[in-house]
Chain A
Amino acid sequence: MTEPGHDSEAHMIETRLASALAAMRAPPVIDRGAAARIAAQAVLANAPSRSANRWGMRAAAALAVVTLGALAMGTRNPAGTSTRTVPVAAAPVMLQSAPSAASTRLVARSGIAARPIMFELDAPGARTVQVIGDFNDWSRNASSMQRGTDGRWRVTTLLPPGRYVYAFLIDGERFQRDLRRDPIEDRDFGVTGSELVIGEAP
């Protein structure tokens, strides 16, 4: 027969142990942009040299341009937001935002594998941000961006090679084009967006 004190001590240990294990199981918050970069680096690290030299260098060059541009320009619009769109050769596609019907049609029509493209917006004061464009039929719900721990909003979507017009929708009411790219009017939707051209893979 065990003593009452022993039972309560054992109970206390098990309670503490259970709460500690529950805390240890809580997954750490991971910056989605970091996951994208890790995936891209893994793909590039294992790419055949010819492919890596061409597509990999193209992605690295795009990242370098974006980074240098951000440093040099410090782009700010009157609302205090800056934008950058980062095409990454092998960044992730978010499963939560499945390719739109338009995107799927493009894949089927072109017969060329889509590429993960990461959109990124520096808008620390925003409550919600979506990237909308002709690739998702300008849907307000198709590509919701997620705020990372660095305050930037990101989403990655699969896009086959082609030319696209897109813009950001901030707080569900304000359109903003990507200031780092050429402005272009979408005649069907009436929004001044930015142009994104994704070239053919090597």
Chain B
Amino acid sequence: MSHLRSLRLEPHGAAVAPAPVADVLALRARDGDAGAFAALVEHLQPRAIRFAAQMSAAGTDDVDDIVQDAWIRTHRALPRYDAERSFESWFFTILANCCRSLRGRLRRLYQRMEPLDDQLRDESLDPLIATGTRSDVARVHRALATLPAAQRETFLLHYVEEFSYEEIAVITGAGVSACKMRAKRAMDAVRDLLREDLHDD
């Protein structure tokens, strides 16, 4: 999330972006520090669960399995981690692949995408969130459930995980302009549903 990284000033006045925590931990983990890998899991696990829960047409156990699978794959691939690349976007590439794999398995099972389970999405939210906001979140999730998976994925990566379009292009393998288009179409669909609900109220 390069646009969110804070800057610090060097003594001579040059602005230098500090290495994100995940990148530092990943390098230590790559060098065999098991504690650093464990800290990496703890650092990113909330976001991993959040993304997988909102992305996948799966039950809670499946979300846990998806994320566990992503960490196993990540650990296996660590020796190939490129220090020049953001670890967060690298990890989300693997996580998104795991989510897609599950969707593929479900599609073969049910021949269609099941809508996201309301209860699961609700469980992924902070319990202190107000009821009205919960309703709006449910509307957004309902709109996302109607979208092609690629649009839903791009929407979540950009508006929830706050990756830049350039980072999403790396994560998904799509072009930057395609990512922008997917995000726009997804956002249009969400706004349309909110507008319809507003008229129904």
Contact = CB atoms under 8 A, between A and B. Distances in A.
B74 A20 contact: no
Interface string A12-55: 11001101111111111110101110111111011000000000
A9 interface: yes
Given A12-B198, A95-B39, A26 B34 contact: no
B5 interface: no
A17 B125 contact: no
Contacts of A115: 34-35
Contacts of B74: 42
A38 B71 CA distance: 8
Most buried by A among B42, B54, B74, B123: B42
| Interface range, B side | 35 or more
A42 B136 contact: no
Contacts, number: 137
Contact of B46 (A30, A94, A113): A30
Contacts of B190: 17
A119 to B, nearest CB: 14
A27 B33 contact: no
Identify whether the interface residues of A are mostly helix, strand, loop, or mixed: helix
B76 A23 contact: no
Contacts of A19: 132-133, 136
B41 A42 contact: yes
A35 B49 CA distance: 11
B37 interface: yes
Contact of A116 (B38, B67, B137): B38
* Most chain B beta-carbon contacts within 10 A, residue among A17, A89, A156: A17
Nearest to B195: A13
Given A13-B194, A17-B190, A28-B50, A158 B35 contact: yes
Interface in B165-201: 190-191, 194-195, 198
Contact of A27 (B37, B46, B194): B46
A35 B140 contact: no
